[in-house]
Structure 1
Amino acid sequence: MNWLHSAVVIAHLLIAAAIVGLVLLQRGKGADAGAGFGAGASGTVFGARGSASFLSRTTATLAALFIATSLTLAYLGGRPAEAPKSVIDRVNIPDAAPALPSVSPADPANDQPSHDQAVEQPAAPAPQPAPAEPPKQ
Structure 2
Amino acid sequence: MELIKTLIWIVNLLSALSIIVLVLMQHGKGADMGAAFGGGSAGSLFGASGSANFLSRTTAIAAVVFFSTSLALVYLSGGGKNDLGVMGGKVEQVAPQIPGGKPSESASGPRSTIPE
Partners of 2:35 and 2:48 within 8 A in 1: no
Q: Which whole-Å deviations, capped at 9, do the CAs of 1:51-101 have from their partners, x for residues lacking one?
A: 011111111111111111011011011267xxxxxxxxxxxxxxxxxxxxx
Partners of 1:12 and 1:66 within 8 A in 2: yes
The residue aligned with 2:67 is 67
Q: In structure 2, what is the Cα distance between the partners aligned to 1:41 and 1:27?
A: 9
The residue aligned with 2:32 is 32
Can you give the 5+ residue segments of structure 1 that lack an aligned partner in the other structure?
81-137
Q: Which amino acid aligns with 1:12?
A: N
Please report how far the alpha carbon of residue 35 of structure 1 lies from its aligned counterpart in structure 2 after TM superposition: 2.1
Question: Which ranges of 4 or more aligned residues in structure 1 deviate by more than 4 Å?
Answer: none
Higher relative contact order (CA 8 A, sep 6+): 2
Aligned pairs, how many? 80
Give RMSD over aligned pairs.
2.2
Q: Which amino acid aligns with 1:18?
A: S
Q: 1:15 to 1:27 in 2, by over 3 A?
A: same
The residue aligned with 2:3 is 3
Please report how far the alpha carbon of residue 15 of structure 1 lies from its aligned counterpart in structure 2 after TM superposition: 0.7
TM-score, scaled to structure 1? 0.51
| Residues 41-120 of structure 1 mapped to structure 2, 5 A cutoff | 42-47=42-47, 49-78=49-78
Partners of 1:22 and 1:55 within 8 A in 2: yes
Q: In structure 1, what is the Cα distance between the partners aligned to 2:6 and 2:50?
A: 38
* Percent identity over paired residues: 54
Q: 1:29 is paired with a residue of what secondary structure?
A: coil
Q: In structure 1, what is the Cα distance between the partners aligned to 2:48 and 2:41?
A: 10
Q: 2:77 is paired with a residue of what secondary structure?
A: helix
Please report how far the alpha carbon of residue 39 of structure 1 lies from its aligned counterpart in structure 2 after TM superposition: 1.1
Higher Rg of the two aligned structures:
1
Q: Which amino acid aligns with 2:55?
A: L
Q: Which whole-Å deviations, capped at 9, do the CAs of 1:16-65 have from their partners, x for residues lacking one?
A: 00110111111011211222333176255224523011111111111111
Q: In structure 2, what is the Cα distance between the partners aligned to 1:29 and 1:6?
A: 39
